[in-house]
Structure 1
């Protein structure tokens, strides 16, 4: 259970990263002292399973949620927030951050300062500087523009964020949270503020996310707004179909008045007819998929208890073990 005297609750997913997470716990304790309570979600680690030794060595209060299997980074965060939403107290602030060191504990006070106004529910970190390669920065810039085109929304933040208890409860009730945390925040209609922060280097090891994983993560962000994406694709297809019809009519008119070279008319008209048929089929499929998305949307929230095998508490937190119910 989260003590009522806790001021800050940290939710961080950990997968096969015992060394980095242990260093994070120490830095959090050094930065925030006994006002912090750490909820570390062990995402089914096998080679480096997480226990409470890192928390105990740091002298920190906290709990380790041991998941039954690996569920992925985003769903692990959703499970952690689900757990926190049932134990959080009024007046506490909840911070979501990665455990690899790229989200700096020293930046948390800046996030919490921006969270103080009553009209703010969630504060997200917008990166001022990055330590990634040029290739990553290039593809990320392309992704942000593509995301805006297909969803109509701007995304410029990741998982590093702070929120109030009401925000946690609202997000934990959204099934989209387990798909993509940042997109779920955008879809939640919560009052969001941004805080420009630097990104730090990893504490240890290499990132487990390859290019394919990053691309999949990006597409999942768009899936949260699947209905909007499908409608925009349908509109674009309809526009192309109309232009194909107008082009065909123009080709027929030019052929009739004799302004076409031999073979030009048949080639142009054939291409335009194919474009019209393809966009027509795509528009029909888009409308059908939009109906499926609208009627098949999951309305039940994620039950975190289904994924937790057991909860381990640090020595400083008191109780040593809580079996998952």
Structure 2
């Protein structure tokens, strides 16, 4: 028996690219998958009205889920997943962008990989990127900082396949509300990836600027703030050890008479102040994280309905 698919596409003012994406899905998706696919478009409270009908979709149907307010890409994904988990009978869920940079043909590869690992979330890992040099440069820096602060490696974005067996688990992971891939890493739900090449935007211009890229990177790190806080505390303790070692060296130089008058006391007191400040700030951060962990968290599966204005169906 054929499996049912749902494709979740969050979008904000990307109506033209979205219509081109629907046509690409029609032409690039394997027929057995396409005929059993529901397309769920999550409209993140677009400020531009849709001025033309949707392109003809050769799958089962198109559903348009409209939000009361603009929440951002990651929260729109969490809402779409929660809606599918509650309302759509589906075996596998695809998450992809509306601009066409996630190639519909790669869904076939994700589905094939999912057959080999049926209870695993499958991500599209970028083998070749089409962005400019500056973007690629800062993306490498972001991955290095992410690994340094969290101890994890992140090599993928939102484009992914979620099997039904993991969907109900995923929509109860509060961290996907802030960052979808980071939340999956934090949740310890098994995941794997397939290599894909990023496609080019179908229409319009990207709304992602440098500031939004930094915010996206910070949101990924923030979902594992407990690990990050402890690693910062450990680093602070190590640096304090280095500072103490330097203070002893300074005292030794002063005792043997090789220190410039006033230099040893000034440098020693400065190192001591910096050591105490970094240690206390790190300790305060750890206690804040522990306090946060004791509070009730936002659960997408429970609270997503508060943001859904209406759902329209197009055959």
Same structural fold, with TM-score higher than 0.5 when normalized by the shorter chain: yes
> 1:120, 1:193 within 8 Å by CA — same for their partners in 2?
no
After the TM superposition, which of the residue ranges 33-42 and 242-251 deviates more from structure 2?
A: 242-251
Distance 1:6 1:119 in 2: 12
Of 18, 25, 29, which aligns to 1:28? Answer: 25
CA contact (8 A) 2:233 2:279 kept: no
- The Cα shift of 1:110 comes to 0.5
State the 1:167 CA deviation: 1.7
Q: CA deviation at 1:62?
A: 1.8
Residue 143 of structure 2 contacts residue 154 of structure 2 at CA under 8 Å; is this kept in 1? yes
- 2: CA distance, partners of 1:150 / 1:73: 24
Q: Secondary structure at the match of 1:205?
A: coil
Secondary structure at the counterpart of residue 193 of structure 1: strand
How big is the shift at 1:174?
1.1
Residue 116 of structure 1 aligns to a residue whose secondary structure is helix
| Cα deviation, residue 47, structure 1 | 1.2
2:203 is the alignment partner of 1:200? no
Among 4, 14, 20, which residue is 1:7 paired with? 4
Matched with 1:319 is: none
State whether residues 78 and 300 of structure 2, in contact with CA within 8 Å, keep that contact through their aligned partners in structure 1: no
User: Secondary structure in 2 aligned to 1:258?
Assistant: coil
Contact 2:119–2:166, Cα closer than 8 Å, also in 1: no
How far, CA to CA, are the matches of 1:124 and 1:9 in structure 2? Answer: 16
- 1:77-121 per-residue CA deviation (whole Å, 9 max, x = no partner) reads 10000001113436x211100010000011111011011124641
Residue 304 of structure 1 and its aligned partner are, at CA, apart by 2.0
Return the offset for 1:23.
1.1
Deviation string 1:245-288 (CA, Å, 9 cap, x unpaired) is 22212211221122223333123213222222222322332232
1:130 CA drift (Å):
1.0
Runs of 4+ in 1 over 6 A off after TM superposition: none
Which secondary structure state, in structure 1, belongs to the residue aligned with residue 161 of structure 2? Answer: strand
In 2, are the aligned partners of 1:238 and 1:283 still within 8 Å (CA)?
Answer: no
Which residue of structure 2 aligns with residue 133 of structure 1?
Answer: 132
Could you give the per-residue CA deviations for residues 190-244 of structure 1, whole angstroms, max 9, x where no partner exists? 2211100011000001001111011001000011001011111111111112222
What is the CA–CA distance in structure 1 between the aligned matches of 2:203 and 2:42, rounded to whole Å?
18
- Shift of the 298–76 alpha-carbon distance from structure 1 to 2, 3 Å rule, reads same
Q: For residue 283 of structure 2, what is the aligned residue in structure 1?
A: 284
Contact 1:124–1:162, Cα closer than 8 Å, also in 2: yes
Paired residue secondary structure (1:203): coil
RMSD: 1.9
Separation in 2 of the partners of 1:119 and 1:34? 21
Q: CA separation of 1:49/1:67 partners in 2, compared to 1, >3 Å: closer, same or farther? A: farther
Equivalent residue number for residue 172 of structure 1: 171
Which moved further from structure 2: 241-250 or 65-74? 241-250
Task: Give distance in 2, aligned partners of 1:29 and 1:8.
Answer: 14
Distance 2:139 2:115 in 1: 31
5+ residue gaps in structure 1? 317-325
Q: Unaligned regions of 5+ residues in structure 2, if any? A: none
Q: Secondary structure at the match of 2:126?
A: strand
Query: Aligned to 2:310, what secondary structure does the other structure show?
Result: strand
- Aligned CA distance change for structure 1 residues 212 and 49 (closer, same or farther; 3 Å): same
Q: What is the number of residues matched between the two proteins?
A: 309
**2:263 and 2:213 mapped to 1: Cα distance?**
45
Are positions 1:124 and 2:115 aligned together?
no
The CA distance in 1 between the partners of 2:165 and 2:266, in whole Å, is: 61
Return the alpha-carbon distance in structure 2 between the equivalents of residues 50 and 13 of structure 1.
18
1:80 aligns with 2:45: no
2:78 and 2:145 mapped to 1: Cα distance?
25
TM-score, with structure 2 as normaliser: 0.92
Q: Which residue of 1 aligns with 2:187?
A: 188
Q: Deviations over 1:10-56 (max 9, x none)?
A: 001011011111111122123333222100000101213488x215x
